[in-house]
Structure 1
């Protein structure tokens, strides 16, 4: 087994290990934190380069499930949760609370969500379509929502945020398109182990840099750190369960894939646009710990995902949106 193949097959374990390594190597985490924005751009570009165009357009021929899921993820759910936080009042309605909620519910699914979904036997094409829809509209939806709820606490204006997001996303899409045209679909498909390795190396840098300050906080305030960690896993699972419950009556087995996408948000895209060195320390701590579910879910949820898919497949006449 070559190194590229080994890395490709063990990518989830390697990335999870890198996150834990960042806790015990604070100096390395601090040195890599400024590069997180570049990591996000690289991962987005590689993911777009690897898009299975045929699968995507096959899903687009039945666009309603993907469109509904995309709107739920980046419009309906963020607005509902932020409005609920305002109605509940402090501490949820405080500027810091609203900012944290915004960062973790406004982004689209992570760019690796389709690959992770397929590892669990889910509909990767659907997750890909939802991810692309959410990513494309994010420069409009996220800044608009931010202007209503977190305008006073954002380090940049909603317009600047929109421009930065649009620039980051369009640059990644354009570079991926150019590389695909230069290399050709055949070479891109043949280079899958190499692209997997690039993605894993970049994800390792991201995981290490994201843990900046977390190890020190764990030593000085273990209760808070462990509490946020548990809360991050619980919140991600709650998003999955709610999305699954909402869509199951309409799309059947596809709701499993939609739920997985909902629980794994690309908060790094927002943080990169805001500036990784300008984030409030508490927001950064919660952002860093919220990445742990993303790193560990592919291993933890893989058996559950396959059981749910198998259970739905055994049910005849499953309903599905056109």
Structure 2
């Protein structure tokens, strides 16, 4: 393929990345056998996605975030503590305490941000270094946080700490180690020049992950269309509401103790992104086999908004960056 045609193709993929992500998930629902075949590749696909996203993190930006971790710590507390409390309190205004949707929404709000948040950050133009800093500790704390929240809600969430730790170690070790090795071998300038190709690869990989993660969702939608439709709409609404709330909350000046001056818009967008998009794969694995089929169906449906919400928020994120002059 001529370089000009290749450049036009990669630009087209990046420009329509949100649609491709949604298409990957939609394909997984429409073709359940294909989703089932792709599902075993979910871990390596996720590792490769994280690896490419980490290549796009500028070392100077990540070091700057590490040197001033205050904002990251506040975002972590917001995700793991404030969000579930907020969702529970607001939900109790309209739903009984034992309602399965209230329990599901609260569990989702207590779940750490998805490990591929950095990849989404690259595509949506947020602070990828902050997303990386926030993503690691929140997922490491998941085996403690999720069972505790489930116990308070009157249910169980059997997360095997050893299995979770091993999965995280593989993802983190492979992606960080690979990014460090490639950077050392070819240098940061060449990686910067390859940014369009890397972003294209991230887009295609996220779409492939969306295909694989929809394993089981299509048959569930056929078996219980009404319930699954309600579950998809509810989890999508929660995703968008938490994103909007996260962006608004970090616009207040109350975080002066964590970062001098107003929180930059890219950091606010990162807080919004990770507020709404949670590690639904981890949560679904945690509650599977507990005998609560309605709760499992809601969690399965909750994976779809991860691939639908970028279609909705991408223009809003772009507008926020333009207003801030970024």
CA RMSD of aligned residues (A): 3.5
Give the alignment's TM-score, normalised by structure 1.
0.77
Aligned length: 301
Q: 5 Å matches for 1:271-282?
A: 274=285
- The answer to whether the Cα contact below 8 Å between 1:78 and 1:105 also exists between their aligned partners in 2 is yes
| 1:253 CA displacement | 5.9
Corresponding residue of 1:226: 229
- Which string of whole-angstrom CA distances, capped at 9 and with x for unpartnered residues, describes residues 113-149 of structure 1? 322331xxxxx23xx2331122221354212213423
Contact 1:22 1:209 in 2 (8 A): yes
Counterpart in 2 of 1:53?
A: 59
Structure 1 CA distance, aligned partners of 2:287 and 2:34? 16
User: 1:71: which partner in 2?
Assistant: 77
- Could you say if the C-alpha distance between residues 12 and 301 of structure 1 is closer, same or farther in structure 2, counting changes exceeding 3 Å? same
Residue in structure 1 matched with residue 35 of structure 2 by the alignment: 29
Tell me which residue corresponds to 1:107: 112
Contact 1:7 1:196 in 2 (8 A): no
Instruction: Give the equivalent residue in structure 2 for 1:259.
Output: 272
The residue number in structure 2 matching 1:135 is 135
- Over 3 Å counting, the alpha-carbon distance change for 1:220 and 1:92 in structure 2 is closer
Q: Does 1:302 align with 2:314?
A: yes
For the 8 Å contact 1:69–1:258, the answer to whether it is kept is: yes
1:247 CA drift (Å): 2.1
Greater mean alpha carbon deviation, residues 105-114 or residues 29-38: 105-114
Query: Is the partner of 1:90 in helix, strand or coil?
Result: coil
d(CA) in 2 for partners of 1:11 and 1:184?
A: 27
Is this contact kept in 1: 2:231–2:301, CA < 8 A?
yes
Show structure 1 runs of 5+ residues with no match: 119-123, 314-322
Match of 1:161? 164
Q: Is the 8 A contact 1:104 1:267 kept in 2?
A: no
Q: Tell me what 2:148 maps to.
A: 148
Change (3 A) 1:10 1:302: closer
Deviation at 1:304, TM superposition (A): 2.8
User: How far apart, in 1, do the equivalents of 2:106 and 2:31 lie?
Assistant: 29
Residue 90 of structure 1 pairs with residue 101 of structure 2 = no
Q: Distance in 2 between matches of 1:46 and 1:188?
A: 10
> Does the 8 Å contact 1:15/1:207 carry over to 2?
yes
Residues 37, 275 of structure 1: alpha-carbon distance in 2 compared, 3 angstrom cutoff? farther
Structure 1 residue 212: deviation in Å? 2.1
Measured at CA, do residues 108 and 90 of structure 1 come closer, stay the same or move farther in structure 2, by a change above 3 Å?
Answer: same
Change (3 A) 1:149 1:58: closer
| Cα deviation 1:142-185 (Å, max 9, x = unaligned) | 12213423478445433542343244323321222112212211
Unaligned runs of 5+ in 2: 254-261
Q: Distance in 1 between matches of 2:248 and 2:214?
A: 33
Change (3 A) 1:11 1:162: same
Q: Is the 8 A contact 1:16 1:296 kept in 2?
A: yes
**Partner Cα separation in structure 2 for residue 216 and residue 22 of structure 1:** 11
Take 1:199 and 1:63, find their aligned partners in 2: how far apart are those partners? 27
Instruction: Quote how far apart the aligned CAs of 1:209 are.
Output: 1.8
The answer to whether the 8 Å contact 1:29/1:210 transfers is yes
d(CA) in 2 for partners of 1:167 and 1:192? 25
Matched, 1:202 2:213: no
Q: Distance in 1 between the 2:191 and 2:36 partners?
A: 34
Q: Aligned partners of 1:161 and 1:80: how far apart in 2? A: 27
* Alpha-carbon distance in structure 2 between the residues aligned to 1:309 and 1:185: 25
Of stretches 292-301 and 221-230 in structure 1, the one that deviates more from structure 2 is 292-301
